[in-house]
A and B are shown apart, each in its own frame.
Chain A
């Protein structure tokens, strides 16, 4: 029983953290351009610098 009083808040807290992260990501338009993000890794950085 005493173990539960640790484990349940931890489980809930981790779930809530994941949920908060998802909400944050959505508010910050992280899912706006998924195909673009996939393509951008192919762009060479150095030229023009």
Chain B
């Protein structure tokens, strides 16, 4: 299927694999377009799209550079960023390990059940003994393999003299297995292999759900991350340029910064004039003009002609590094957060252990003999083992995050969902968060031809206006007209030739307004007013937050007048021109007053605040660092996912608490039976599966919570 055109040229030179993340892949048509379009090009052997991860893996001639491949993808109509390494590989490995363990546990459970059911329905004598031996033969390797995730985590916890959910699980499973082996050897009536393996199966199902939720959303976020600013073209003394990774740059080197590229280090412009976009760094919305001598900072994006920049500070000394340091420190407090499952385990585990110990001591005192006492103690341990508890949290969180993904919000993990449920005040950044990242043009004056020309021209530029123009035109389904000799001049605009006619996107004559542009085709002119509008549903989202009892405020790095306008329009309390340190201080102050702040922001300057907040959300257009610091990322133009996130998170925590009550309640019913010594392996198995099913069905009610 979909075989790519085989390359018939003999003896290809060395081949390399390069992977690109392409967020624009949305349908089967995109897959076909990219794979066929790339496979037809010289030097490309094959291209394979991974739709789920929004990535393209290209196998190509080593001569072909990353830039050339990126350009080829852009010509096909897709924005693309090369992926350096797979930062998610470790998570994938963990998920795969859990899935394998789950498969093995499932296999073992089914086969042991097959044998157990015959024993329960009356098989006796030699048959029963044979079946117990067979069960042991299946169960021992299964438990050894499938139990590893629990055993290793329990060991780790014990080494630091703590308990977590895995300690009672491991003790229960190991004791039940050891006892069953003993019973098998002496030819007794009951063996608990089925309970032990079933316990592992249900718990692994919970873990695998948890891991797959993280995997799915991280793949989504990974697709949004770019590798901008992690390397730079350095001009060597002989005039040639070479790509140097950001951590190997040194002060005094000369960087050549192409249009649209992010700076990898702080420096001073030596050659070239133009403008840089500081929005990610400071939150300021208007581009800032630069000329030789102007200082520029890492993380800023060059908008026009290539700039020669002499590096003055690298890695540890840049403004970005200072922000990264703040983020690291701010993130510390969050790592101290204890997840609800572990909080429950702290209460539950000692209770279970003492109950089992009490049962043993009690029956010994009653003169039952150590064997029967031990059997009863283990039955108590198995029946109270947090099997449904293991599912209670992940099942609810997976359904909740699935509901949120459909609304365009990716929550990174369960802990994020738990913290989102607790927030009581929301702080919003302005540029790119309350407003849309790119200025939006008013296109009503343009006819179809003019639109197609405008798109053709705008594609050649990285200026925020051009990108806003490209976004809105592409969304309305316009195909770009080919433009020849397109060139961009800082401060003036874009010019080019369309079928021999001179066309231009330029600053209107005699007007100093920053937020306007005009399209010229031959002698005709169209005005293109731009605005940085609020997200379309900002008001509704803020209202929804208010009904949830959450006060919203603005915390922006932009100039006071720009912030004040938005604040007035939305009726919010605002704090403008805040540096990253000031944002951080604001959050710390709120936390000290006993609030649980939610931070919503996109720029690098929001990074420390995002890391320090009790919970944080970033838009999909945010800088890499911000997306990594945030607990959740929302995609698209609407702000409503932010309000929905809190609403669904709260609902999910309600369900989690119900699940705890159900699971503990169900097990509590069985405890008296176990204490009295009436629990057979069959009762244990039924109790376990019933409580798990109830917990999972209760969690499914969350599917419609994101309304």
Answer whether A15 and B96 are a contact pair too, CB < 8 Å, given A36-B52, A39-B27, A43-B32: no
Q: Is A35 a contact of B51 with CB atoms below 8 Å? A: yes
From B99-107, B243-251, B649-657, the one touching the partner chain is B99-107
Contacts of A11 in B (CB 8 A): 111, 114
A15–B109 alpha-carbon span in the complex (Å): 11
A36-B107 contact in complex given A1-B127, A11-B114, A45-B2, C-beta closer than 8 Å = no
Interface size on B, residues (CB 8 A): 29
Of A16, A22, A33, A45, the residue contacting B52 (CB under 8 A) is A33
Which residue in chain B gives the minimum CB-CB distance to A27? B96
Q: How far is the CA of A23 from the CA of B597 in the complex (A)?
A: 45
Tell whether A8 pairs with B134 under 8 Å between CB atoms, given A39-B51, A40-B2, A48-B36: yes
In Å, the complex CA distance between A13 and B312 comes to 68
Q: How would residues 107 to 126 of chain B score, 1 for a CB under 8 Å from any chain A CB and 0 otherwise?
A: 10011001100000000001
The chain B residue sitting closest to A5, CB to CB, is B130
CB pair B28–A39 under 8 Å, yes or no, is yes
Which residues of A are found within 8 Å of B104, using beta-carbon distances?
19
- Closest B residue to A48 by CB, please name it: B36
Q: Taking the nearest CB of chain B, how far is it from the CB of A38, in angstroms? A: 8
Chain A positions 24 through 49: 1 when the CB is less than 8 Å from some CB of chain B, otherwise 0: 00100000111110011111110010
Are the C-beta atoms of B28 and A15 separated by less than 8 Å?
A: no
B1 in the interface, Cβ–Cβ < 8 Å? yes
Judged by DSSP, the binding face of A is helix
Q: Is B258 an interface residue (CB 8 A)?
A: no
A16→B96 CA distance, assembly (Å): 19
Closest to B1 in A: A40
**Contact residues of B between 1 and 48, Cβ < 8 Å to A:** 1-2, 5, 27-29, 31-32, 36
Distance in angstroms from B136 CB to nearest chain A CB is: 14
Task: Quote the shortest CB–CB distance from B149 to chain A (angstroms).
Answer: 16
Q: How far is the CB of A18 from chain B (nearest CB, A)?
A: 7
Say if the beta carbon of B632 comes within 8 Å of chain A. Answer: no
B434 in contact (CB, < 8 A): no
Please, which residue of chain A has its CB at the minimum distance from the CB of B126?
A: A1
Which residues does chain B contribute within 8 Å of A34, judged by CB atoms? Answer: 52
* B-chain residues with CB within 8 Å of residue A48 when the two chains form the complex: 5, 36
B50 adjacent to A33 (CB under 8 Å) = yes
In whole Å, how far is B118's beta carbon from the nearest beta carbon of chain A?
Answer: 9
Are the C-beta atoms of A16 and B2 separated by less than 8 Å?
no
Rounded to whole Å, the gap between the CB of A30 and the closest CB of chain B is: 12
Q: Is the CB of A35 within 8 A of B107?
A: no
How long is the Cα–Cα vector from A11 to B49 in the complex, in angstroms? 39
Known: A18-B107, A19-B107, A43-B2. A32 touches B100 (CB 8 A): no
Closest to A43 in B: B32
Q: How far is the CA of A26 from the CA of B1 in the complex (A)?
A: 20
Would you call B469 an interface residue if the criterion is a C-beta within 8 Å of the partner chain's C-beta atoms?
A: no
B29 to chain A: which residues have CB within 8 Å? 43
Distance (whole angstroms) from the CB of A14 to the closest CB of chain B: 10
Q: Are A33 and B51 in contact (CB under 8 A)?
A: yes
A selection of 16 A-B contacts at a CB cut-off of 8 Å is A4-B130, A12-B138, A15-B111, A19-B103, A19-B104, A22-B103, A23-B100, A32-B52, A33-B53, A35-B52, A36-B31, A39-B28, A40-B51, A43-B2, A43-B29, A45-B2
Pairs A-B, 5 closest by C-beta atoms: A36-B51, A42-B28, A39-B28, A43-B32, A33-B50
